[in-house]
């Protein structure tokens, strides 16, 4: 489909980042566009825009590209709920938009190409439930000091270290102890 069709620059960027064109990427692309538009926001340069994804599907890649939210900047959060749900919020107000793919957005037996076509052509309201709200936001990223795990010898952020039997351990070593 990408060979014969011309896409917008931002969708092309998402495809390039993700590695291929697919319905999952389009779900995240459409959700991110809705979130940005409803919030009147642009791509985040720092931590002013927060993205929370409730799945680790292809959609998450499009959300990162369009919103500029990343793990490294501390404004991209993964909640392992297995749902096609995406929340976009502004700091410091907490004003947010929750975008969820509607059940039945794709009739059973719909092919990958048919899902992609529907995602490119259907209205936002046909595909997504959209809710504006205010949320409590996760704290901004914080640079913390590192401590040494007394089992494996690797550095670990002090807030992630665990004290087990008087020893400072990283999480994997603490789980084995």
Residue 153 and residue 126 share a domain: no
- If asked whether residues 52 and 91 sit together in one domain, one would say yes
Q: What total number of domains does the chain contain?
A: 2
99 and 52 share a domain?
A: yes
List, for residues 110-134, the tens digit of each pLDDT value: 999 999 999 999 999 999 999 999 9
Helical axes 9-18 vs 59-67, angle rounded to 10°? 130
Q: Are residues 92 and 151 in the same domain?
A: no
Tell me the average pLDDT across 81-89.
Answer: 98
**What is the pTM assigned to this prediction?**
0.84
Q: Mean pLDDT score of the chain, rounded to an integer? A: 94
Burial 129-158, CB ≥16 within 10 A → b, else e: ebeeeeeebeeeeeeeeebebebeeeebee
pLDDT of residue 3: 55
Task: Note the pLDDT of residue 144.
Answer: 86
Give tens-digit pLDDT for 9-50: 999 999 999 999 999 999 999 999 999 999 999 999 899 999
Domain that holds residue 158: 146-176
């Amino acid at each position: 489909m990408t060979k014969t069709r011309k896409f917008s620059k931002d969708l092309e960027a998402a495809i390039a980042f993700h590695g291929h064109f697919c319905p999952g990427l389009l779900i995240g692309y459409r959700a991110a566009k809705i979130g940005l538009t409803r919030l009147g926001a642009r791509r985040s340069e720092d931590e002013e825009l927060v993205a929370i994804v409730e799945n680790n599907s292809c959609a998450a890649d499009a959300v990162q590209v369009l919103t500029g939210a990343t793990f490294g900047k501390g404004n991209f959060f993964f909640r392992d709920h297995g749902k096609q749900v995406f929340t976009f919020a502004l700091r410091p107000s907490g004003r947010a938009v929750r975008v969820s793919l509607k059940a039945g957005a794709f009739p059973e037996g719909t092919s990958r190409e048919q899902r992609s076509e529907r995602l490119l052509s259907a209205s936002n309201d046909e595909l997504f439930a959209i809710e504006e709200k205010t949320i409590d936001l996760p704290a901004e990223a914080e640079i913390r000091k590192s401590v040494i795990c007394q089992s494996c010898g690797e550095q670990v952020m002090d807030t992630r270290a665990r004290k087990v039997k008087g020893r400072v351990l990283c999480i994997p070593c603490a789980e084995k102890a």
